Amino acid sequence: MTLSSQPLRGAPTNASIDLTEAPQPVAGTLVAGDLARRYQDVRATTERLATPLSPEDQVVQSMPDVSPTKWHRAHVTWFFETFLLAPNLPGYEADPTYNYLFNSYYEAVGERHPRPQRGLITRPSVAEVSDYRHRVDEAMLDLLSRDRADDPALLALVELGIHHEQQHQELLLMDIKHVLSSTIVRSAYRDRPSRDPSANPPWAWVDFDGGIVTQGHRGPGFRFDNERPVHDVLLQPYRLADRAVTAGDWLLFIDDGGYRKPELWLSDGWHHSNAEGWQAPSYWRFDDGRWLVYTLDGERPVDPAEPVVHVSHYEADAFARWAGARLPTEAEWEAASSTVPVAGNLLPADHLHPVPVGTMAGQPDGVDRSPGLRQMFGDVWEWTASPYVGYPGFRPAAGAVGEYNGKFMIDQQVLRGGSAITPGGHVRPTYRNFFPARARWHFGGLRLAADR
């Protein structure tokens, strides 16, 4: 495989990768004891993420899309209580008030508190939610120690609950970032020294032959229902940029008037950009001749070398058009990602923000000179050109759990790859995240694609 460095509007190369024999994600058989340990680890991680926050921090809702930290901690606990303890642990009684307050969107479970008003839930207190978590944890470990804990259906539901809590760990950090950035003092989630900015790194095209590829989760191991059924997709020859689009790339877009050129934008995107006054990614501001960015470690100068983050699908699409490229389809992204390890700047790395390419590879000058795709996992969720719809033959599961994904398959776009706040072990090549095209508060970025 050969690669060539490209200017932003790069010329074709002749490099290629054969995708017909992509490796498969594999996981072991579910065992109650292993799940109990994983359950404890995940629950402890949630509490660790909440530790830097005061009780006052944990009750604020800064916009309707954001949920308070206290609500996240209670909701994931409610999930285990509602779907596992109440139907499976003899004598367990759930609190109907908590069922109303901490149900998210499960219509089959009953009425629920309105999402935009979660910041009004001052009671139960943060301390009472901690007690609730402890009480449910004890009951869950009791359930997993009982005779029927080898029931495959029960174990599969526990695993779903574990992955559900990991999703809310990422949401917790996304949401508290918006909360803290909305305060007058714009305080940091934690106190960490910032990196010195570095030069925008070069990039290259990586070419793929296309052909008939298999999309969807195959083999054993956990997957959400929206990752199936497995099906074949015909891809034309295509190429992907070897790294994510950086803040330095985005500065060129801004300087060239990208936010002021309607010919670059989808109609609805142009409307939102003007109505909401977009002039840069969310959390950026221009002050005294330089761009600053708010991070979970506080505000600092924009680093041109780090992947740009907190851009909407509309912005990503406009940037790709400005660059003479496009966004990849999710099938293109999945096929390409299956050629690289599932590793990168995820939550365990503890950066909590995208880092320059090469940082995770340990290069002393911050430049990763390894050939092929980089930053496919971690750093930023990468917007794709694909709408979030069910795969051919998709059918939601029966009952309330079937509401987990299928009911949202409208007016959303797919993102792939995970971010700097995605828990480790939670992403894979087939994982499908989704947000409305206008969304900016999540850790969304992009990678360029083009036809060959």
Same domain, 208 and 142: no
Evaluate whether residue 186 is within a structural domain. Answer: no
Cα distance between residue 340 and residue 242, in whole Å: 12
Read off the pLDDT band of 2 (50, 70, 90).
very low
CATH code for the domain in which residue 58 is found: 1.20.120
- Evaluate whether residue 116 is within a structural domain: yes
- Burial label for 208, CB within 10 Å (0-12, 13-18, 19+), is buried
Residues 334, 419, single domain; the answer is yes
DSSP H stretches of helix in 288-329: 313-322
pLDDT digits (tens, 9 = 90+) for 111-123: 999 999 999 999 9
Give the model's pLDDT for residue 29: 65
Kindly state whether residues 107 and 207 are assigned to the same domain. no
Among 157, 181, 205, the domain boundary falls at 181
DSSP state of 296: T
Same domain, 139 and 114: yes
Mean pLDDT of the chain: 90
pLDDT band at 377 (very low <50, low <70, confident <90, very high): very high
Could you list the residue range(s) of the whole structural domain that residue 148 is in? 32-181
Q: For residue range 40-71, list pLDDT tens digits in order.
A: 999 999 999 999 999 999 999 999 999 999 99
Report if residue 54 sits inside a domain. Answer: yes
The pLDDT assigned to 17 comes to 26
Q: How much is the pLDDT for 370?
A: 58
- pLDDT tier at 371, thresholds 50, 70, 90: low
Mark whether 233 and 364 lie in a shared domain.
yes
Candidates 194, 385, 429; CA nearest to 297 is 194
Residues 363 and 231 in one domain: yes
Residue 20: CATH number of its domain: 3.90.1580.10
Coil, helix or strand at residue 213: strand
Lowest mean pLDDT among 17-26, 121-130, 279-288, 361-370: 17-26
pLDDT at 195: 83
Residues 377 and 282 in one domain: yes
Separation CA 152–CA 32 (nearest Å): 10
- Dmax (CA) of the chain: 68
The residues, any chain, with a CB within 8 Å of residue 17's CB and separated by 6 or more, are 1, 206, 207, 208, 209, 336, 339, 372
**Residues 174 and 257 both lie in one domain:** no
What is the per-residue pLDDT across 140-196, written as a single tens digit (0 to 9) for each?
Answer: 999 999 877 778 989 999 999 999 999 999 999 999 999 999 998 889 999 988 888
Report whether pLDDT(13) > 70: no
299 and 231 in one domain?
yes
Residue 46 main-chain phi, psi, to 5 deg: -60, -45
Query: Counting every residue, how long is the chain?
Result: 452
pTM of the full predicted structure? 0.91
Of 29 and 272, the structure prediction assigns the larger pLDDT to 272
| Residue finishing a domain among 146, 181, 216 | 181
Number of domains making up the chain: 2
In a domain, 370, yes or no: yes
Q: Are 206 and 14 in contact (CB under 8 A)?
A: no
Domain stops at, among 119, 146, 181 = 181
Name the 3-class secondary structure at 385. strand
Residue 393 within any structural domain of the chain: yes
Residues 77 and 9 in one domain: no
